[in-house]
Amino acid sequence: MLIAILITSSNLFAQVSTRTVKGNITNENAQPISGASISIKGTSNGTVSDSAGFFQLQTREKGILIISIVGYATQELTLTNASDYKVILKERENELDEVVVIGYGTVKKKDLTGSVQTVNIENTPIANLANTNPLQSLSGTVAGVVVNPQSKAGQDPLSTMTIRGDNSIDPSGSGLNQPLIVVDDIIFNGTLNQINMQDVASINVLKDASSAAIYGSRSANGVIIITTKKGKSGKPLFTLNSSYAFQNWSRKPEMQMDIDKLLKVRWDYFIDAGRIPVGTDFNRSLILTTQEAEAYDKGIRTNWLDEISQYAPIQNHNFSVAGNSSNINYYISTGLLDQKGVIYNDQYKKVTFLAKIETKINQYFTLGVKGNYYSADNSGLSPSMQSATWMSPLSSTKTLTPGYEDWIPSNPSGSSARNPYVGFDRQVGPAYGSDENKAQNIDGSGWLIVKNPWIKDLTYKISLNGTYSHSIYNLDVGPKIFADTRTPANMDNFNNFWGQAYANANSTNVRTWILDQILTYTKTIGSHHIDAMAGHSRDAYRYNTLQTEGNGFNMPNPLKWNGINLATTQKVFKGESRYQNLANMMRVNYNYANKYYFTGTFRRDGFSGFAPGNKYGNFPGASVGWAISQEKFMSNITWIDFLKLRLSWGQTGNQSISPYETLATMGLDYTVYGSNSAIAIYPNRMPNEGLSWSTTTTKNIGLDYTFIKGRVFGSVDIYKSITRDQLLTRTIPILNGFSTVRTNVGRVDNQGVEVVLTTIPIKGIDKKHFNWETGIVFSKNINKIVELYGTVDAQGNAKNDISAAPTSDAYLIGKSIHSVWDFKMLGIVQKDDVEYINKYQARPGDVKFLDYNNDGKLNSSDYHYQGDRDPLFILNFNNTFTYNNFSLYFSLKWNAGNSTHYLGKDRYGRMASMAIANGAQLKNVDPWTPENPTNLYPRAEWVNSQGYWFWNTRAFAKLKDLTLSYTFDKVALDKIKLQNLRFYVSGNNLFTISNWTGLDPEDGGTIAANPGSIFYGSYPVLRTYSFGAVVSF
Amino acid sequence: MKRYIYLSKYIFLSIAIITAVSCNKDRFLEEPVFQLTTETSYSTPAQIDLAINSMHNKMQYLSFSSYQYHNYIMTGLGLDGFFSTTNSFVTSNWSLLTPTEPGYVSHWATNLSQVLTYANNVIEACNNPAVKFSNDVQKNELLAEGMFFRAWSHRCLVGLFGDWPIITEVQKVPKLDFVRAPRVDVWKQCKADLSFAAANLPNTTSRPGRIVRAAADHLLAEICISLGDHTKDAKYYDEAITAASNVIGGKDGDYQLMKGRFGKRATEAGKNVYWDLFRAGNFNYQEGNKEAIWVVQYDYANAIGGTGGMPNSATSNKLLLEFAFQSTSYFVNRQLKDASGNSYFFFGDGAVKFANGQSSQTGNDERGVGASQNRPTNYFFYTIWENNGQDIRNAEANIERNIKQAGGKPWNDVFAEIKARGDWNKIIPSDTIRSIYPRIWKFSTDKHINGNQEFYDADIYIMRLPETYLLRAEAYMKKGATDLAKNDINEVRSRSNARLISDAEVTMDYILDERTRELFGEEYRLVTLTRLSTKENPVLVNRVKKYGWKWPDLPNENRPNIQNHQWVYPIPQSIIDANTDGEFKQNEGY
């Protein structure tokens, strides 16, 4: 809370014992405040201000004045030698007075008519969390927002985050559902890593279309507005914030290290699979590979998950200076983040710098500049977790062949499973490969605000922003990765593999600029209040990439990616793309007597990526609000402080297609005539001149409430959105020459309810008393595909439409985008399931499936709807306790699911494939045997020929965030000339309850698919313990 | 302060002016393009030539890339000539051939539709007034090759599926309401396209593989026969005869049946001219082969490791039918060993040495792929050669019946050896079907000249002069000129030293047999049989029932279990489903 104290007199008094101190108290509008109590801190000495706001008090020379009155923030004022004080009291801000950023402008929360939720970060417990990305702060605080937890160092969750469900069918996961990010009023194109978490003051999330429509064609998935910090105090305030954290796996699967058990399972498998005649006496040499037998004899037992893990600390240091004096507001900050992930070699380092200076030249002109620099290093190849889980513990990390001890074995267990450190074609490990992955970004803005001398209250703002980012990715894969160390000759002659070695060097740069011009007009006439805005915006985006590739070397290449010119085959790929946007927009906020509100918004957008005739789209929005509590008939209901009903409607767009998608582009290939090669060019994409925006229409009903003198407050929102003209790649008859084309087709609806309820069960009078604030953030979203194309079969039933793959999102009419289409698993076939065994030629220990169409066969026609991957609801339970200088905050997260909701692919958590030296070697996997008639795991030798995915609910409850901080007393700090000193400890993803057998259920990470499959990508979610200190002076 | 007020006023005035004048918004939203598009890629004759290359690229892909054996369907897999050695294959167990069958039916529909699209792009570009040609000849030659491929695609699609939409334009927005046209109408479109092509294509080309006038006339002859058959209008037979005569009679260039030994290996003893026709380096007209009309090109150096090579994925597979026909060269039952304890290998000819000293097919063993995926029928091996004289096409040089092991030991001797050792019972019946049968040298080689046993360097004939003769014979026969028909057939047969036939022997069935003798594995047998078929008289089905492999695993009444409606393939369900704005009718019976 800000105080402005203006010292108007500097008369010196020479009195030693007592003196007269007088003053005048006004509000921010210079109106006198009468009846305020003025007292000297720690004494009973006090007085009350008169009707003109004046007071007079006898006091000793030193002391602190406390000025307080209901409705205003209490002020403390250290007495100086001056005798005459002018005190300006600020109205006490309750949450309704919070300023909400709504895009090209701000409103007070109580005046909002759309659905906007604010997360204050500056000086809140959230700021003490070890979040390295601002979006992570939204996960537990904003209803309807889903942000995946971090699983890799430096991971940016933007591309997978959603607000109020998925509006778009996006089979390729190309980010069609990601919200628009706006930073300090400017549309942001970069990675969120460019923003230092410690520079963020607040985040506003525009959820309904009437709010987001001001961003038109890019706002269909909601808008997240990030506001950075500003200078506040007259004196420069220096702040140093340092934290240190260490991380581990939020859930780590256990490898099977019980060798006897491992051998037994494998023996059973060999017998059952007919590899060893029934009745043979146990003999481990029959079931172990040469390498495993050697490891067994030497007593080598390797836990490969431990082998690929590393100690994972985070260091985070920030230093800033901020101030607000002589019409200059400045905030300058620099940050250093050094994070290691839990998988070996996963690391991320970044340096950020931010300078923001705004100067008010005079009453007509304000000028500002902002500069941002970011440099990051994410280099480092990591071993594959999947390969690790497939590695038998009877294997060595070092080559056991004498004379080759400095080699890392390519296939440690002797099977075809590759050493995670060595890797293979698609997943190069760190042993014999290396990479370089770096990025820099500079981002500069300047703005000028001009007040109109003729028409008061008319303001013009022009702002220009430019960014340049440059990133490189270089990869080197040496010859040793191709040597199978099971054969010593390969190691002797590893130089023979230079022919297979390769190196890539890629560099990419992105340049953007945005020019915004905004006119605003504010006027109050009697009870009529108008706040109007009109603007013009244009921006441009350019992408450039140069990729070079060298394959095969006739000579050793010690230069890695700098030696591409030595390669026998060298390839160059150069790409460039651009797009431009153009927009005109306007918004009118009108309210009558702070009771009746109306907001109208309109934006007309142009996008270069669409064909002529389709370049422009219109995006309107309208909303009304009724502050019921301001009505006379409500005045005697004293427990209701504030009650407002909001209704909104709006349309927003999604233009998330790449440039040139409307054009028929060409591909190059070759043909031969005789022995002469000739280039062939052919159209490789269907043109579609009709391609245009997908449009989301959203209706929202909301209620904001504050009860019992601010002890209970929050909001309830019910919404329904309809997204038409999906930007879908649909199948078309091949007679067009192409089998797919990006086109506008289909409709997806989302409807849901969001509740934010905050209560203050125990209210401390001041900070010395115990205070407890608790809140729930609840959201439920129902996603439904309403229309597609060719969506019914001959019987009129909706059918699996876009994706033929049974286990992917199935796209069923009337069901969620994330529908699961697969067999239904009934359990495991037991010995007495005679009927099933006979009917389906099954064996005890097989997975038992439902014969859905009851035709006596189990095949792809038994796939059917199993439920969806969406949570039933998400509930966050947040608590803040403050007592004296202590503050404790924790957040619990419950994502609810059941056997048909919030499903995830749990395949390798449930599959008993550890039976050979080439399968997931997990402790929890306990295969079915006659002695162990489990209903969860099939027999070890069962072959998943139908590709069933073992769907399992990911429902979980989690202690998501916790922070405890201690802030030193101001009095104590004054002695050591500090403004602020705080110590804190915090943690993320601390504790999870779930039946999910994979990694962390929150992102549905799987343990291990076949290392060569496309499902190898999961990294473990990070659990973080952090401690740190903030010092300001 | 005053100057600030003025400055402020100027700023607001200039906003007003800028807003009033406003810059050209549409220009700001123009899309700068950094990719090749159809607009920029077809602006000169040289570029259109590159577009024509893409159709040849596709033909190479279709001819050389074994896409799960889909490519052999055109040349007659499952019909009278050869069959898959597994009864889970759609054309060996016809009940599996359904509209939703995952790929066999759509492979050709997809690729031919793409060729058709490329052809229409070429035609559109040639007709674009913005493209400047040096003269009309240049323009018409390019246009003619586009039209040839349009006709070629239409003809093959109709051959596979029957009625098919006529597509003569490039689609700029997705078309979702295709309607099937009667196949007579499609053939009429083909005839129009080919007439233009035959009038404008060059007689010769320096680029082996490119389309020449004779190819257009050859195909025109076939199209006219189809039109004659299905319109009952005999004038089409005359046009067919004219078109074929243009090729045979020298109007389209100097085409002659090769009657004497020729080419790279002409001096090797024990072989004959038919064998010469299929040696690497002998396929093209430019190489002195005067009966080659259209040859799809293969070049080893450009296929393997070359930077400007063969079309993608046409390079990683075995060539031609060798892969499909030839056995893995050892008994499936691995326990059958010779006296030295080695498995028996066949087809080793001694000319190709590999590290392990084994046959040319050992690579398949390691890849776990049984190579004798397809096997000729008894119709091909025995029936058609009965009462045929000393036909060189059936000589041991071309169909090696006493196959040899590595080192040269003949199968008959090995067979005797196995029998003598009492191991005969170890040969399971499937070995003799899958692995032991005559070797067909027109699809095989004893010289992997590039040292890679998985590839050899041979092109593929699509059109060869003997077929032109047989087409003309068919037209003569259908017109009633049986003696002329007999002469044309005998022209082909005399080259092979086969017994000459009499007028009385000239029937459609005989011509089909002769086509098998001469063109086995070359002609698109499926198209030949469907063009002759109707719902009432499904020639294709009749021949499969008569000559097709009788699967012992199938119930007696189902050997082979082809149904009468299966003279055409089912329309891929994916096409019917995606054609959401119109009804794409399925073929009857599916």
Q: Is the pLDDT of residue A618 over 60?
A: yes
Neighboring chain B residues of A731 at a CB cutoff of 8 Å: 574, 577-578
pLDDT (0 to 100) of residue B358: 41
HSE value, Cβ hemisphere, 13 Å, CA-based, for A957:
4
The Cα–Cα gap between B302 and B208 comes to 15
> What residues in A contact B54, CB-CB < 8 Å?
669, 671, 680-682
The model's pLDDT over A471-482, given as tens digits with 9 standing for 90+, comes to 999 999 999 999
Q: How many CB atoms lie within 10 A of CB A412?
A: 34
Burial of A593: CB neighbours in 10 Å, binned 0-12, 13-18, 19+: exposed
Whether A46 and A40 have beta carbons less than 8 Å apart is answered as yes
User: Is 60 exceeded by the pLDDT of residue B316?
Assistant: no
Q: State which amino acid sits at residue A673.
A: Y
A608–B8 CB contact, under 8 Å: no
**Which bin fits A691, alpha (ψ -120 to 50), beta or left (φ > 0)?**
beta
Residue B327 is predicted with a pLDDT of 47
| Tens-digit pLDDT profile for residues A250-305 | 988 888 899 998 898 888 888 887 888 888 899 998 889 889 999 999 999 999 99
State pLDDT tens for residues B459-512.
Answer: 899 999 999 999 999 999 999 999 999 999 999 999 999 999 999 999 999 999
Q: Is the Cβ of B60 closer than 8 Å to some Cβ of chain A?
A: yes
Q: For chain B, positions 85-144, list CB contacts with chain A under 8 A.
A: 106, 109-110, 113-114, 116-118, 120-121
- Given this model, what pLDDT does residue B254 score? 96
- Per-residue pLDDT tens for A307-319? 999 999 999 999 9
Kindly list the residues from chain A whose CB atom is less than 8 angstroms away from the CB atom of residue B107. Answer: none
Question: For helices B508-519 and B482-495, what crossing angle results, to 10°?
Answer: 20
Interface list for B 323-382 with A (CB within 8 A): none
Name A809's bridge partners: A820
| Cβ contact B117–A606 (<8 Å) | no
Q: How many CB atoms lie within 10 A of CB A755?
A: 17
Cβ contact, residue pair A664, B578, below 8 Å: no
Q: How many CB pairs under 8 A join A and B?
A: 223
Task: From chain B, pick out residues whose CB is under 8 angstroms from the CB of A573.
Answer: none
A729 to chain B nearest CA, in Å?
12
SS3 A751: strand
Measure the CA–CA gap between A195 and A408, rounded to whole angstroms.
40
Distance from CA of A671 to the nearest CA of B (A): 5
**Using one digit for the tens of pLDDT, what is the confidence trace for A864-889?**
888 999 999 999 999 999 998 899 99
The partner residue sitting opposite B29, judged by closest CB among A606, A673, A739, is: A606
A886: left (phi over 0), alpha (psi -120 to 50) or beta: beta
Closest by Cβ to B31, choosing from A362, A608, A743: A608
Cis peptide before A313 (omega within 30 of 0): no
Report the range of poorest mean pLDDT among A53-67, A994-1008, B432-446: B432-446
* Alpha-carbon gap, residue A324 to A14, rounded angstroms: 33
What CA–CA distance (Å, rounded) separates A740 from A20? Answer: 86
Least confident segment among A552-566, A962-976, B282-296, B308-322? B308-322
Measured in angstroms, the CA of B38 and the nearest CA of chain A are apart by 6
Nearest to A641 by CA among A558, A730, A705: A705
Q: What is the pTM of this model?
A: 0.82
Interface of B with A in 268-307 (CB under 8 A): 284, 286, 297-299, 301-303, 306-307
B41 to A666: CB separation less than 8 angstroms, yes or no: yes
Q: Which residue in B282, B298, B301 sits closest to B290, CA to CA?
A: B282
Q: With beta carbons under 8 A apart, name residues in chain B contacting A861.
A: none
| Cα angle value A592/A583/A535 (rounded, 5°) | 40
Residue A608 touches partner B, C-beta closer than 8 Å:
yes
**Cβ-based contacts of A582 with chain B (< 8 Å):** 25, 28-29
Q: Which residue of A has its CA nearest to B206?
A: A673
Residue B560, preceding peptide bond in cis (omega within 30° of 0) = yes
Q: Shortest CA distance to B122 belongs to which of B176, B155, B157, B168?
A: B168
Kind and range of the H or E element at A534? strand A528-553
| A670 to B309: CB separation less than 8 angstroms, yes or no | yes
- A-chain residues near B312 (CB < 8 A): 669
DSSP B261: -
Beta strand A180-183 with A223-228 is: parallel
Contact (CB, 8 A) for B294 and B310: no
Which residues in chain B have Cβ-Cβ distances shorter than 8 Å to A673? 56, 207-210, 297
What's residue B69's pLDDT? 66
Q: How far is A337 from chain B (nearest CA, A)?
A: 38
Distance from the A361 Cα atom to the nearest Cα atom in chain B, whole angstroms: 10
Side-chain half-sphere exposure of B452, counting CA atoms within 13 A: 15
Beta strands A567-592 and A596-607, pairing class: antiparallel
Assign A730 a pLDDT band (cuts: 50, 70, 90).
Answer: confident
Mean pLDDT calculated for residue range B421-444:
69
Lowest mean pLDDT across A31-45, A49-63, B343-357: B343-357
B231 near B183, Cβ under 8 Å?
Answer: no
Region B118-127: mean pLDDT is 96
Q: Which residues of B touch A739 (CB under 8 A)?
A: 110, 574, 578
The reply to whether A453 touches chain B by the CB within 8 Å rule is: yes
- Here the tokens at position A698 are 């959203």
Nearest one of B300, B301, B258, B302 to B282, comparing CA atoms? B258
> CB of B374 within 8 A of CB of B548?
no
For A677, which residue in chain B has the nearest alpha carbon?
Answer: B308
Whether A731 has its CB under 8 Å from any CB of chain B: the answer is yes
Q: State residue B83's pLDDT score.
A: 84
pLDDT given at position B1: 67
- The mean pLDDT of B183-189, rounded to a whole number, is 98
The reply to whether A670 touches chain B by the CB within 8 Å rule is yes
In this complex, do B37 and A682 lie within 8 Å of one another by their Cβ atoms? no
Q: Is the pLDDT of residue B368 over 80?
A: no
Considering chain A, what is the average pLDDT of its residues?
87
CA dihedral B268→B269→B275→B277, nearest 10 degrees, is: 40
| Chain B residues close to A690, C-beta within 8 Å | 173
Cβ–Cβ gap A606/B301 under 8 Å: no
Give yes or no for residue A245 having a pLDDT over 70. yes
Best CA proximity match to B328, nearest among B376, B364, B352, B355: B364
- Of A162-171, A645-654, B183-192, give the lowest mean pLDDT range: A162-171
Its ipTM equals 0.89
Rounded distance between C-alpha atoms, residue B550 and residue B303, angstroms? 38
Name the minimum distance, in Å, from the CA of B311 to any CA of chain A.
Answer: 6
Residue A598 to residue A600: CA distance in whole angstroms: 7
Contact B223, B527 (CB under 8 A): no
d(CA A987, CA A990): 6
Residue with tokens 């205070």: A771
Residue ranges of alpha helices (H) inside B458-572 are 465-479, 482-495, 508-519, 525-532, 539-547
Q: Are A656 and A216 in contact (CB under 8 A)?
A: no
Q: Is the pLDDT of residue A1008 over 90?
A: no
CA–CA separation, A541 vs A467, rounded Å? Answer: 10
Written as one string, the DSSP assignment of A204-221 is EEE-SHHHHGGGGGG-TT
Q: Given a cut of 60, is residue A1010 above it in pLDDT?
A: no
Query: Mean pLDDT over all residues of chain B?
Result: 84
- How far A839 CA lies from chain B's nearest CA (Å)? 22
Top-confidence residue, A572 or A905: A572
Distance CA A887, CA A963 (A): 8
Q: Can you say whether the dihedral through the CA atoms of A964, A970, A971, A972 is positive or negative?
A: positive
Shortest alpha-carbon distance between residue B140 and chain A (Å): 20
Question: Which of A452, A735, A793 best tests the B interface by mutation, with the highest count of B CBs <10 A?
Answer: A735
pLDDT of residue B23: 56
The predicted pLDDT at position B127 comes to: 96
Percent of chain A surpassing pLDDT 70? 93
pLDDT band of B341, cuts 50, 70, 90: low
pLDDT, mean of residues B298-316? 67
pLDDT of residue B308: 65
Terminal Cα distance for chain B, rounded: 89
Quick one: which of A850, A853, A856, A857 has its CA closest to A823? A850
| B10 contact A CB<8A | no
Residue A925 has pLDDT above 60, yes or no: yes
Q: Which amino acid is at B334?
A: R
- pLDDT for B331 beyond 50: no
Closest to B42 in 3D by CA, of B152, B130, B134, B116:
B130
CB contact under 8 A, B38 and A606: no
pLDDT, one tens digit per residue, over B385-398 is 999 989 999 999 99
Q: How far apart (Å, rounded) are the C-alpha atoms in residues B212 and B453?
A: 33
Contact B8 A680 (CB under 8 A): no
- Per-residue tokens: A458: 């008319």
Q: pLDDT tens digits, residue range A391-438?
A: 889 999 999 888 998 999 999 988 888 899 998 766 789 999 999 999
Question: What is the number of residues in chain A?
Answer: 1033
CA distances from B264 to A781, A834, B450, B453 (A): 74, 69, 16, 20
Residue B168 near chain A (CB below 8 Å): no
pLDDT of amino acid B260: 95
Residues of A in contact with B150 (CB under 8 A): none
Question: What's the token pair of residue A17?
Answer: 């014992």
Indicate the residue type of B67. Y
Q: Which residues contact B393 (CB under 8 A, 6 or more apart)?
A: B274, B399, B496, B498, B517, B518
pLDDT classification of B370: cutoffs 50, 70, 90: very low
The answer to whether B564 touches B541, Cβ cutoff 8 Å, is yes
N-term to C-term CA, chain A: 18
Q: Which residues in chain A are contacts of B178 at CB distance < 8 A?
A: 733, 735
Q: Is A613 on the interface with B (CB under 8 A)?
A: no
CA A683 to chain B, closest CA, distance in angstroms equals 7
| pLDDT-derived band at A94, boundaries 50, 70, 90 | low
**pLDDT given at position A9:** 36
pLDDT of B503-539, one tens digit each? 999 999 999 999 999 999 899 999 999 999 999 999 9
Helices B235-248 and B183-200: crossing angle in degrees, nearest 10, is: 30
Residue of B nearest to A740 (CA): B174
A627-636, A824-833, B139-148, B469-478: range with lowest mean pLDDT: A627-636
